[in-house]
Structure 1
Amino acid sequence: MNIKNIKLSLLTACLTGSLYPALAQTADGLNSFSEASYRKYVSEVSSDKLMGRLPFSKGETATLNYLEQQFKALGLEPGNKGSFLQPVPMVSIYTNPDPQMKVTGANASFDLEGLKDYVLWTRRTDARIDLKNEELVFAGFGISAPEFNHDDYAGLDVKGKIVVVLVNDPGYYDAKQFKGKTMTYYGRWTYKYDEAAKHGAKGCLIIHDTAPAAYGFSVVANSWKASKLYLDPRGHESYKSAFEGWLTLPASEKLFATIGTDYKTMLAKALAPGFKGESLKLNITTGLSTTCTYNQSHNVIAKITGTKHADECIIYSAHWDHFGISKPDAKGDSIYNGAIDNGSGTAGLLELAKVFKGLKVKPERTIIFLSVTAEEQGLWGSAYYAENPVFPKNKTVADINMDMFYPYGKTKDISVVGYGQSQLEDYLSAAAKTQGRHIEPEAVPSKGMYFRSDHFNFAKIGVPALYIETGTDLVTQGKEAGLKMHDYYNTSVYHKPNDEYDAAKWDVSGTIQDLQLVFLVGKKLAYSNEWPQWKSGSEFKAVRESYLKR
């Protein structure tokens, strides 16, 4: 063993401690990562042959066949009762709202215009939904958060009514509330709709404000013109509001002016201690028509069965889907290959499977490699798995999610999205030190990126979930250059046909380092009895503790 490997072994030992002494003295697996095999995977999974990997298309069939073939070639076991596939029944709902919404009050009546003043959609599958003189109720931020001693619905009857709520959470506006600028789950728009339905509301309208939303209203309007995918509710129906939607800030100002107030005043009320929701003494009339199409997509599940605790698992997840063949760009390219998003994560999943399978000492816990569908349409593949897991949540140790590795070379840092959530980031920090690197919080925590990829569905059921992002402090060019590269991708490549693999331009050396880090985190758990915990203040801590007592 040369000096370099001796140092690596000692560093690995520091990371793993004495939990599995034989393994702690070796760097088993680290040297098995290969740029060549990773490049092969990412070039194949983002090739035109897979047609952009759109669910329900020929591209899905080609992608599923490819992933199953690769897992079989690596010698992995099928992860779902003898099959590599987990069917995910879904429904596509096209919502066609009425062009106007009539607002009436004691002293005023006016119309709001669809797409200009508001957007509406529904998760219901009714062919027609009519809303007539439905009462509007202001429910602050629409949040019930016991750990922050905050309940906007306290003493407020919203059953059968339309709630109007503010975007984000109180911490965005007041650093002393919640987690300050770091958005919590309670600030996520999906939470607000779910919470409104939980309280029996007939509908929920979120007031759009660009800064706390982190995107303009045009993004909202454009994203809701098309059909939306949801899990097929048939056979396990639950109450859903008749509609969900957004109001523009000018439209909300018009509502508030009608009752003699304004947005700033209502925001101040919602931020004040002891806030109480109230009727706006306004009613709305509008309607929606829907067209529903039922179909089935698939998750891909492979596993390596543990030698000692086979009933306990660590999950590595990455979504396989992208946008298929769609509107061509200026060069006429209409295939949305999604090489970085998320061909890079899918290739990483295969590379990790290869390395774990090649370990001399086999994992004591089962390792699951989960490639999920329909992330781009709403995280639905992971949502379905979380509701229908192969391993129950009380036997799932952690989820480590991979969504977009930037091919810009080695970095001094690694970004933790959702910094401060769980002990998994402490494991990651220890692993990073073995590479002479350090972890950093995500750059803009107010965007709530922790709630926008597949690990989030594991967090919702209490399973500690780690989500990393490529660092920005490039070893050779520095942080400024790294930030520019990230910005260029986000503005000029993200969700566009030019997100393609380029062998000449891609530097995957940093990706390999990042994969080694998540490997070390999973490896630590695979040979131990440890159960990582949520940290104090995490909104998911109580969920885990409700069913897992250790």
Structure 2
Amino acid sequence: MIRHILTAGALAALAACNVAVEDQQGDAALDIPEVQVPEISIETMKEVTRTLSSDEFEGRLPGTAGEAKTVAYLVEQFAKAGLQPGNNGSWFQEVPLVEITGRDFAPLTVKADGETMDFDFGDDWVGVSYRETPTTDIENSELVFVGYGINAPEKGWNDYEGVDMTGKTAVILINDPDYEAETLDGDFNGKAMTYYGRWTYKYEEAARQGATGAIIVHDTYPASYGWTTVQNSWSGPQAYAQREGGGADQTAMNGWVQKGVAERILTASGHDLAELSAAAKRKGFKPVDLGATISTSFNNDSRTFSSKNVIGMLPGTARPDEYVLHTAHWDHLGRCAPGEADEICNGAVDNATGTAALVALAEAHAKAGAADRSLVFLAVTAEEQGLLGSEYYGANPVFPLEQTVGGVNMDALSLAGPAKDVTVVGPDKSQLDDFLTAALTAEKRTGTPNPSPEAGYYYRSDHFSMAKRGLPMLYVDGGQDLVDGGTAAGEAYETRYRDEAYHAVGDEYDENWDWSGVEQDLRLFYRLGRMMAMSTAWPNWREGDEFRRIRDEACTAAEGGC
């Protein structure tokens, strides 16, 4: 989980009802039923959170004894809550993982117009291989500047138009063309980052284009993090879901260079980075062959192991082959401070609380009785290593995505106390916002404007693994405007958690926590899941959203479902 201070885009008031409701953006009408919220056990929340974050579970690192204890406990709790095994009679989905560690990095050598430049690994550039190969060796790969590296047919935008990338390395700008906008208007939603701005997309698209390598130009403001973050994140072991062919369809090397390095390379090639960057913001930009080459090499050590997603379900009565998904990650960082007096990162907030919410919500839904649609509760592994458990599920769904209506992700519930509002990460992307507005109205809560849409937080938690495959997903976080102390108190809580506990040994269970805000959020999550499960609607992404085309294509091909 990437902790952030973020609030929702303004949400217009809309009363929940059990008749067709006109969609806020003019799409097809949705039926959003009224639902009654039963008592949701805070004692269950406390007990599951306390247990999962105890030292006995060793920080819940995948592939360790802590995992074995965690998944066994979750099966026990899911069964006790009244769920059935969700994977053809099994509680588990095996998630095969591979860990690749690069070593012995040669410099990144660039040849341009007779000049040879060597750049040091770490200080100047970083790179990894997504391929399970003992050696990565790139020799004299031609450099092509491809702007933001975007191929978006629905927007009439293709930064790769007219170029064959076979054997070549793409030089790519971070974020997307609108990132400097002051408003949310533009081909790429103005200042609000789209998926096309995320580094994950840029590497995926470069691979689809057949490139040998992909290098992103780091720039702190559009990236929303400094070079140190890149340097630390892209050196050392990198974990991935195991892929058919050992990742042979990926680029040989994905990496980053400092902005100053990119400026030197382009200057030596007779170009100006600022001028090409400005040109890349305009529709119709064509890729530029830089007349330069790169070479580098490094060795890779690979380790394979298996982890588990835990899946429970409550079958529906009227339409059991239509599904509503609830997700949370069970894993954390394990023994993150070896040798210290307290070496375990217990992950009480992140994300024992979200995992406990799966159990408490399952218990409440089961006591209320089965819904029309099936309710699925998915506890995924290896979120902290790159959304790997949810990525594996998205690529290998137990319940077909075209038969899944939508879902809600829960990552690190707020223990700040009751709030007047909620934080919605990635507001106004899909018609699920209409369900959210109805639920908020029923709960007498509001949404508030998002101050950091350019940071792209929607693309950084487990719901995204489903969203990028077309499934509408909501990611709802705790509010900032606290009943006691307002926004100042909300910001103080976030700052204190981030500075003292986030991804640190300080994220431990506290018997003095105020659970009243969690109780609010659980009521909201229950309403959302139950509304979707009792509705006949198939909410879609907003027209023009980057995931709309994917969902439409999947629905067109499906024999049943959406």
**TM superposition score category, shorter chain reference:** over 0.9
Correspondent of 1:480 among 488, 493, 499: 488
* Aligned partners of 1:97 and 1:120 also within 8 Å: no
The CA distance in 1 between the partners of 2:272 and 2:74, in whole Å, is 54
1:398 aligns with one of 406, 431, 443: 406
Secondary structure class of the residue paired with 1:156? coil
1:180 corresponds to 2:181: no
For residues 196-235 of structure 1, what are the alpha-carbon distances to aligned partners after superposition, in whole Å with 9 as ceiling and x for unaligned? 0000000000000001101111111111222111111245
Cα pair distance change 1:298/1:441, threshold 3 Å? farther
Cα distance in 1 for residues equivalent to 2:49 and 2:261:
46
Q: Which residue is 2:214 aligned to?
A: 204
**Overall identity of the aligned pairs, in %:** 41
Task: Give the one of 444, 447, 451 matched to 2:452.
Answer: 444
Q: Classify 1:316/1:26 alpha carbon distance in 2 versus 1 (closer, same or farther; 3 Å).
A: closer
Query: Structure 1: how far apart are the matches of 2:319 and 2:464?
Result: 25
Instruction: Determine the structure 2 residue equivalent to 1:420.
Output: 428
Q: Does 1:256 align with 2:266?
A: yes
CA distance in 1, matches of 2:17, 2:47: 31
1:126 corresponds to which residue? Answer: 133
Alignment of 1:326 with 2:353, yes or no, is no
Alignment of 1:134-533 (within 5 A): 134-174=141-181, 176-234=186-244, 239-328=249-338, 332-359=341-368, 361-504=369-512, 506-533=513-540
Paired residue secondary structure (2:448) = strand
Aligned amino acid, residue 478 of structure 1: G
Q: Is the 8 A contact 1:141 1:168 kept in 2?
A: yes
Q: Report how far residue 275 of structure 1 moved.
A: 1.0
User: How big is each residue's C-alpha offset from its partner over 1:151-195, in whole Å with a ceiling of 9 and x where there is no partner?
Assistant: 101112221101000000011034534111100000010000000
CA-CA distance at 1:498 after TM superposition: 0.6
**Letter aligned with residue 212 of structure 1:** P
* Matched position secondary structure for 2:305: strand
User: Which residue pairs with 1:73 in the alignment?
Assistant: 80
The equivalent residue for 2:67 is 60
Residues 312-341 of structure 1: CA deviation (Å, up to 9, x unaligned):
110100010111012259x73210111111
2:342 and 2:233 map into 1 onto residues whose CA distance is: 21
User: Could you tell me how far 1:66 is from its partner in structure 2?
Assistant: 0.8
For residue 148 of structure 1, report the CA deviation from its aligned partner: 2.3
Deviation of residue 276 (structure 1)?
A: 1.0
Q: Any stretches of 5+ residues in structure 2 without a counterpart?
A: 1-13, 21-31, 557-561
Q: 1:401 to 1:26 in 2, by over 3 A?
A: closer
Paired residue type of 1:131: I
**8 Å contact kept, 1:328–1:497:** no
Contact 1:78/1:302, CA 8 A, preserved across alignment: yes
For 1:51, the aligned partner's letter is: E
Aligned pairs, number = 530
Letter in 1 for 2:160: Y
| Residues 236, 109 of structure 1: alpha-carbon distance in 2 compared, 3 angstrom cutoff | closer
Q: What is the CA–CA distance in structure 2 between the aligned matches of 1:442 and 1:342, rounded to whole Å?
A: 23
SS at match of 1:381: helix
What residue ranges of structure 1 are gaps of 5+ in the alignment?
1-12
SS of residue matched to 1:544: helix
Deviation (angstroms), 1:94 = 0.8
Structure with larger RCO (C-alpha < 8 A, sep 6+): 2
Deviation at 1:404, TM superposition (A): 1.1
3-state SS of 2:122 partner: coil
* Cα deviations by residue, 1:369-394 (Å, 9 ceiling, x for unpaired): 00000111111111111121121111
Mapped to 1, the partners of 2:425 and 2:300 lie a distance apart of: 36
Deviation at 1:26, TM superposition (A): 6.5
Partner residue in 1 for 2:25? none
State the distance in 2 between where 1:377 and 1:105 align: 37
Deviating beyond 3 angstroms after TM superposition, the runs of 4 or more aligned structure 1 residues are 23-26, 174-177, 234-238
Q: Does the alignment pair 1:50 with 2:50?
A: no
The one-letter amino acid paired with 1:208 is: H
Query: What displacement does 1:236 show?
Result: 7.6
Whole-angstrom distance in 1 between the partners of 2:218 and 2:58: 35
Distance 1:423 1:269 in 2: 35
Distance 1:421 1:367 in 2: 23
**1:536 maps to 2:543:** yes
Looking at structure 2, the residues matched to 437 and 271 of structure 1 have their Cα atoms a distance apart, in angstroms, of 39
2:481 and 2:59 mapped to 1: Cα distance? 31
**Counterpart for residue 7 of structure 1:** none
Label 1:534 to 1:273 Cα distance change in 2 as closer, same or farther (>3 A): closer
Mapped to 2, the partners of 1:339 and 1:332 lie a distance apart of 18
Residues 131, 248 of structure 2: 8 Å contact kept: no
**Distance change (3 Å), C-alpha of 1:404 and 1:313:** same
Q: Which amino acid aligns with 2:270?
A: G
Mean alpha-carbon deviation: is it higher for 334-343 or for 91-100? Answer: 91-100
Q: Structure 2 CA distance, aligned partners of 1:253 and 1:80?
A: 52
Secondary structure of 2:443 counterpart: coil
SS of residue in 2 equivalent to 1:427:
helix
**Partner secondary structure for residue 15 of structure 1:** coil
Q: Partners of 1:234 and 1:464 in 2: how far apart?
A: 27
Contact preservation (8 Å) 2:112, 2:265: no
Shift of 1:97: 5.0
Is the contact made by 2:35 and 2:530 (CA closer than 8 Å) also made in structure 1? no
> Structure 1: how far apart are the matches of 2:246 and 2:296?
28
Give 1:539's aligned amino acid.
Answer: E
Give the Cα–Cα distance (whole angstroms) in 2 for the partners of residues 419 and 26 of structure 1: 23
- Return the alpha-carbon distance in structure 2 between the equivalents of residues 42 and 342 of structure 1: 9
Cα distance in 2 for residues equivalent to 1:208 and 1:478: 37
Q: Distance in 2 between matches of 1:547 and 1:260?
A: 45
Paired letter, 1:54:
L
Change (3 A) 1:235 1:131: closer
Q: Residues 325 and 336 of structure 1 are in contact (CA less than 8 Å); yes or no, is this contact kept in structure 2?
A: yes
* TM-score normalised per structure 1: 0.93
Q: Which amino acid aligns with 2:16?
A: L
